[in-house]
Amino acid sequence: MRKKFFIWLLATVFLTTISLAQAQQPKKVARICYLGGTVANSPYNFNPFRERLRELGYIEGQNITIEIRPHEGKVERLPELAAELVRLNCDVIVANGTDAALTAKSSIKTIPVVMGFSTDAVRLGIVASLARPGGNITGLSFDVSQDILGKNVATLKEIVPKLSRVGVLRQVESGTSFAALEAAARKLGVTLEVADIGTPDDFEGAFATLIGKRAGALIVVGGPLTYMRRQQIADLALKNRLPGIHSLREYAQAGLLISYGPNLPDLYRRAAGYVAKILRGAKPADLPVDQPATFELIINLKTAKALGLTIPQSLLARADELIR
């Protein structure tokens, strides 16, 4: 009996010692890294990412840290910033925007990457397919041409029924396919006039070109440069009396007439879901690329009044937000 008791006592001491040692081991703090533009610093957009991570059990200062490396509109810095994140040994990198996703494809080979949102990821070769992305990249992508640009022409035509020419302000590096936009324009009997933007000095001249070609409305095909200059774009559109549209709400908030596109807070929340799955052991190659589920229409009524436009009641009824 004494022998059995001694064996039990030794086992108890051993197991207790192991448990205490394990309890004293520091828990791994995962490092989540962000690569992209200034949109990450907008509380409206980035807070939902943090909130969703908290809901999934990942809390800054406890079991995760978040490193943010925004390019601030200077996309040429992306390779440098990506290299910096690789040196930080990130557990997962969120590549926000098409430029960041393309940079991740070319320069981040082993660290899991989640696209916060990218356009045309399959067409641009960022992933092999939506269902089977392959490699180390997955996340969220949408075909901006089919989902948004084609509808923009119809929306502008609804506001300006006699519209015959639409100016397209396009950032040269956007890489957007124009097939759906051109098809929609032809169907509605609208001619597209394109003015390309490459530097901050191009905006005044681009608007002068579009006015010279008698454009009666404006579609902005964005990128980091146009996003950084969205206030200037909105001001120039109003100055030249062009009702304008873009996919991001920040443009309507800056004074452009309309924005119609994916709900970015929703995309950020869903990107956090991808991050959580990867931190729990999932492989990006096994996680299908998802697409936006929620789109929002925002109309700036102050701009409409300044342009002397009456927004059709049918369009007002579809709006998710009216800026007064």
CA angle 260, 321, 99 (to 5 degrees): 35
Residue 263, token pair as written in the block:
């709900």
Give the residue carrying structure tokens 């589920």. Answer: 293
Please tell me if the domain spanning 30-142+264-293 has the same topology as the one spanning 145-262+296-323: yes
The pair phi, psi for residue 258, each rounded to 5°, is -140, 150
* pLDDT attached to residue 2: 54
User: By the 8 A CB rule, do 136 and 113 touch?
Assistant: yes
Name the DSSP letter for residue 220: E
**CA gap 306, 85 in Å, rounded:** 46
Grouping H, G, I as helix, E, B as strand and the rest as coil, residue 302 is: helix
Whether the model clears a pTM of 0.85, i.e. scores above it, the answer is: no
Fold of the CATH domain 145-262+296-323: Rossmann fold (3.40.50)
**CA gap 20, 35 in Å, rounded:** 39
Given a cut of 50, is residue 9 above it in pLDDT? no
Instruction: Please identify, in words, the CATH class of the domain defined by 30-142+264-293.
Output: alpha beta
Going from N- to C-terminal start, the domains of the chain cover: 30-142+264-293, 145-262+296-323
- Range in 11-25, 165-179, 204-218, 279-293 with the lowest mean pLDDT: 11-25
Closest CA to 268 of 54, 29, 81: 54
**CA gap 107, 79 in Å, rounded:** 7
Residue 64, token pair as written in the block:
């995760």
- Residues 219-247 have pLDDT tens digits of 998 778 888 899 999 999 999 999 999 98
| Count of positions (residues) in the chain | 324
- Residues 24-82 have pLDDT tens digits of 444 689 999 999 876 555 677 788 999 999 999 999 999 999 999 988 878 889 999 99
* pLDDT attached to residue 20: 43
* pLDDT attached to residue 12: 52
Name the DSSP letter for residue 12: H
**CA gap 203, 197 in Å, rounded:** 7
- Residues 110-149 have pLDDT tens digits of 999 999 888 889 988 999 999 999 999 999 998 665 557 7
Q: Are strands 258-262 and 295-300 parallel, antiparallel or unpaired?
A: antiparallel
End-to-end CA distance of the chain: 86
Given a cut of 90, is residue 174 above it in pLDDT? no
